[in-house]
Amino acid sequence: MAFDYEKYLRPGKLPHIWCPGCGHGIVMKGLIRAMDTLKLDMKNTAIVSGIGCASRLPGYIDCCTLHTAHGRAAAFATGVKMAKPEMNVILCGGDGDGTAIGGNHFIHACRRNIDMTYIIMNNYIYGMTGGQFSPCTPTGHKASTTVYGNPDPNFDIAKLAIGAGATFVARGTAFHANQIDKLIAEAIQHKGFSVVEILDDCPTTYGRRNKYKSVIEMMNRLKEVAVPVKAAEKMTAEQLKGKVLTGVLYKDETKTDYTTEYAKVIERAKASK
Amino acid sequence: MAKKVEFMQGNEAAAHGAIYAGCTFFAGYPITPSTEVAEVCSIELPKIGGKFIQMEDEIGAMAALIGASLTGAKALTSTSGPGLSLKQENIGYACITEVPCVIFNVMRGGPSTGMPTGPSQSDVMCAKWGTHGDHPAICLVPASVQETYEEVIRAFNLSEKYRTPVMVMPDEIVAHMRERIVFPEPGEIEVINRTAPSVPPEQYKPYDTSFGDVPPLAAFGSGYKFHVTGLNKMQDGFPTTKAEIVQAEEERQVRKVEANKADIMKWEEYMVDDAEIVVVAFGSTSRSARYAVDVARKQGIKAGLFRLITFWPFPEERLLEISKKVKAFISPEMNLGMCAGVLKGCIEGNAPVLGIFRVDGEPINPDQIVDKMKEVK
């Protein structure tokens, strides 16, 4: 039987705002399947986002949804999780939202290891505003504000998350749709701050400026560059050149998550009365 | 039983007032001269099972406040000028999404870093116009430690009652001076909680105006699933660009404060009835003003004091009435004429407004005010 996405979607909210060929819908379906796998109580689940195309995702899903200010999803979500630790808190957004204007909140959510899952749809561009370069646009690539080629070095989101203290970091792609729900489900189950980067495509504002002739070509590129972590172990540095590792990149289950740690603060404070 | 009496700072009193009002969440970022509020909250809140979090920046603190409030918690932050500038983005978010929260802002010099340890009263316009777009504004300006405690409670009450952020803005003198404070018993001061929805979850709309200008607010995680966005929204919380809905919603958001001004405004009149000269003052400046009025009366000058306790909404109608009977107003303030400007805007030119404006980090003393009274012809 075909999977029933509709029971997780708010009635009357489709069609979504995303352009034909955009991978965000693939990610949303992956998230829905992950929530279904885990049998998440939707009344007790919050999806929090910032601003941008990817940040419109929460509006379609029938749970407690919070579409915040640009870059601030992690900070709003931290308030939700701190005040009600029993809630499942999932964040989503794009690369510009999460790593430029929201970079500070992102690294500190990682550092605190607060038990939330952050899905970053990385399409290397600010799509909603018409295709300006983001901190994830590869050097030399074209955007509406880098018509002569992007001079900026780009972030590796996964490395940034690991360096900042996230205890679960995974990467998938919009091409590998069947892997997305598994990565997200494992991330949600992880007790601590988990980051799932999904390499995505923006045919409208990134593809056409960077000589991709079609969405299929963009998807094929995701297919070609992705190398599962296990497979990469058997490959040489030369073979891995230009490739991107996918799968669970980092997992540390030894660290206590933030709200559990704060519960200890409450115990100590009560004892000190 | 005798009431609990202590000797404490305005900032400390603010934290205790918040807890009396039912605050269980604080998010902030260290900033002089308001840090004691955060320090006391970090000690006291976990004792009652509440939460304190020091965020990575002022913007994040304001964001966390709104997130916590959406789960049903009463939430407080404290800051000062530069922090207030940073918080404006999400103060606007709280206005449009109609999420209750309290911002305690200690006024120091500015703009920018200014004079971090000096007193000022120059954030009052920022309280109304700091965030972009049309929005409601409530700003309370206590003048003593006791009043700081009580106004923080009132701030929470107004915030919950009208589903809007409320600012409490003492100047640095009020925030840092130590005075005697008498704590009220539990139940002695009314504590208001936001109205929870009376409809079942499937019928709930977060901006349902069939319940009036202030629709009930459900909490995340209480069985109600709903959407919150900073975009202009419909009654069901989802974004819209429909002209008539956007117009009506924006007007309602401002109206819920403007139409309830009488409930929100608070001031104190001292010897105003027969006064020929009325000093309009607030915060620590109003204490100098009251002393000045006493000195002036002894010298035969018919002076009075109009002390603002609520700055926004501004008591325009009452001041217009007073303006018809007086020779002049005096506006002493630790800024370059912010209150004087608002005052002039509502008295239809009935009386001159003489300003005493100090931005040098020094308080305005009573002599300055008495001298200014003598300039009135």
Q: What is the pLDDT of residues B55-112, one digit of tens each?
A: 999 999 999 999 999 999 999 999 999 999 999 999 999 999 999 999 999 999 899 9
Residues B169 and B29 grouped into a single domain: yes
pLDDT tens-place string over residues B342-363: 999 999 999 999 999 999 999 9
Measured between its terminal Cα atoms, the distance across chain B in Å is 54
**What is the CATH classification number for the domain harbouring B341?**
3.40.50.920
Give the residue from B213, B231, B262 where a domain finishes.
B262
Question: Could you tell me the residue range of the domain that residue B339 belongs to?
Answer: 268-374
Residues B58 and B162 grouped into a single domain: yes
Instruction: Determine whether the interchain pair A75/B63 forms a contact, defined as Cβ–Cβ distance below 8 Å.
Output: yes
Tell me what percent of the residues of chain A surpass a pLDDT of 70: 100
Domain membership of residue B140 (yes or no) is: yes
Residues B205 and B232 grouped into a single domain: yes
- pLDDT, position B115: 92
Minimal-distance CA residue of chain B relative to A111? B56
- pLDDT, position B374: 98
Residues B55 and B113 grouped into a single domain: yes
Interface test with B, best of A7, A13, A61, A82 (most B CBs within 10 A): A82
A217: Cα within 13 Å, side-chain hemisphere: 9
Residues B205 and B85 grouped into a single domain: no
Residues of chain B whose C-beta is under 8 A from some C-beta in A? 24-25, 27, 43, 46-47, 49, 51, 53, 55-57, 59-61, 63-73, 75, 89-90, 93, 201, 220-221, 223-231, 238-239
Task: Please report the ipTM that was assigned to this predicted complex.
Answer: 0.97
Residues B349 and B210 grouped into a single domain: no
Closest Cβ–Cβ partner in A83, A104, A262 for B57 = A104
- pLDDT, position B377: 85
Minimal-distance CA residue of chain A relative to B231? A67
Across the range A70-98, mean pLDDT stands at 98
Instruction: Determine whether the interchain pair A269/B43 forms a contact, defined as Cβ–Cβ distance below 8 Å.
Output: yes
Domain membership of residue B190 (yes or no) is: no
Q: Give the burial class of B195: count Cβ atoms within 10 A of its Cβ; 0-12 exposed, 13-18 middle, 19 or more buried.
A: middle
Give the residue from B152, B182, B212 where a domain finishes.
B182
A72 contact residues in B (CB cutoff 8 A): 59-60, 63, 89-90
Domain membership of residue B70 (yes or no) is: yes
Q: Where are the beta strands (DSSP E) in B146-189?
A: 165-168, 178-182
- Whether A62 shows a pLDDT value over 80: the answer reads yes
Fold topology of A14-271? Rossmann fold (3.40.50)
Q: Which residue positions in chain B have pLDDT lower than 70?
A: 1
- pLDDT, position A1: 72
- pLDDT, position B2: 82
Instruction: Determine whether the interchain pair B66/A67 forms a contact, defined as Cβ–Cβ distance below 8 Å.
Output: no
- pLDDT, position B1: 66
- How far away is chain B from the Cα of A189, in angstroms, using its nearest Cα? 19
Q: Which residue has the tokens 């091409």?
A: A175
Across the range A254-264, mean pLDDT stands at 98
Give the residue from B262, B286, B302 where a domain finishes.
B262
Across the range A62-74, mean pLDDT stands at 98
Closest Cβ–Cβ partner in B68, B229, B230 for A80 = B68
Give dist(CA A78, CA B65) in Å, integer: 9
**What is the CATH classification number for the domain harbouring B68?**
3.40.50.970
pTM above 0.90, yes or no: yes
Residues B277 and B230 grouped into a single domain: no
Q: Check residue A57 and report its DSSP letter.
A: G
- How far away is chain A from the Cα of B138, in angstroms, using its nearest Cα? 22
Total of domains in chain B: 3
Among residues A193, A13, A197, the alpha carbon closest in space to that of A107 is found at A193
B227 contact residues in A (CB cutoff 8 A): 10, 58-59, 65-67
Residues B145 and B221 grouped into a single domain: no
Instruction: Determine whether the interchain pair B25/A76 forms a contact, defined as Cβ–Cβ distance below 8 Å.
Output: no
Token pair of B59 as six digits = 């913007």
Residues B104 and B44 grouped into a single domain: yes
Across the range A69-80, mean pLDDT stands at 98
Give dist(CA B294, CA B210) in Å, integer: 51
Residues B276 and B258 grouped into a single domain: no
pLDDT tens-place string over residues A87-121: 999 999 999 999 999 999 999 999 999 999 999 99
Domain membership of residue B77 (yes or no) is: yes
Residues B118 and B31 grouped into a single domain: yes
Domain boundaries, chain A: 14-271
Instruction: Determine whether the interchain pair A72/B90 forms a contact, defined as Cβ–Cβ distance below 8 Å.
Output: yes
Give dist(CA B59, CA B100) in Å, integer: 17
Residues B76 and B149 grouped into a single domain: yes
Closest Cβ–Cβ partner in A62, A67, A78 for B225 = A62
Closest Cβ–Cβ partner in A64, A74, A82 for B226 = A64
Across the range A30-44, mean pLDDT stands at 98
Domain membership of residue B221 (yes or no) is: yes
Give dist(CA B311, CA B82) in Å, integer: 20
Instruction: Determine whether the interchain pair B225/A43 forms a contact, defined as Cβ–Cβ distance below 8 Å.
Output: yes
Instruction: Determine whether the interchain pair A86/B221 forms a contact, defined as Cβ–Cβ distance below 8 Å.
Output: yes
Domain membership of residue B195 (yes or no) is: no
